C-alpha cells in the first residue's frame, strides 16, 4: 500500500511547478496515509513536513 500511495503522490505532483512538487507530494502522501491511518499513520502534518524537508535537504548535500 505504501508503494501505491507513493507512486500516486508522485504522479499527482507532476503538474505542479518545480519548486512546489516536493511539498505537494509530501502533503498528498500524508493525506493518503490518513485515509489508512490504522496501518500507515505518520503523525501530525507539520511534524511530518519538517522531518521530510530536513531529510531532503541532507540528501541534496551529497548529490
What is the rounded distance in angstroms from the CA atom of residue 63 to the CA atom of residue 46?
A: 26
45's grid cell: 502534518
What is the rounded distance in angstroms from the CA atom of residue 57 to the CA atom of residue 25?
A: 15
Q: What is the pLDDT of residues 28-57, one digit of tens each?
A: 999 999 888 888 877 899 999 999 999 999
What is the pLDDT, as a whole number, of residue 29?
93
Residue-range domain boundaries for the chain: 2-61
Q: What is the pLDDT of residues 10-28, one digit of tens each?
A: 999 999 888 899 999 999 9
pTM of the predicted structure, to 2 decimals: 0.80
Task: Quote the distance between the C-alpha of residue 39 and its chain's center.
Answer: 17
Check if the beta carbon of residue 40 is closer than 8 Å to that of residue 5: yes
Amino acid at each position: 500500500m505504501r508503494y501505491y500511495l507513493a507512486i500516486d503522490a508522485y504522479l499527482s505532483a507532476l503538474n505542479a511547478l518545480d519548486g512546489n512538487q516536493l511539498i505537494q507530494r509530501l502533503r498528498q502522501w500524508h493525506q493518503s496515509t490518513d485515509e489508512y491511518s490504522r496501518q500507515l499513520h505518520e503523525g501530525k502534518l507539520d511534524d511530518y513536513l519538517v522531518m521530510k524537508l530536513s531529510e531532503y535537504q541532507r540528501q541534496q548535500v551529497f548529490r
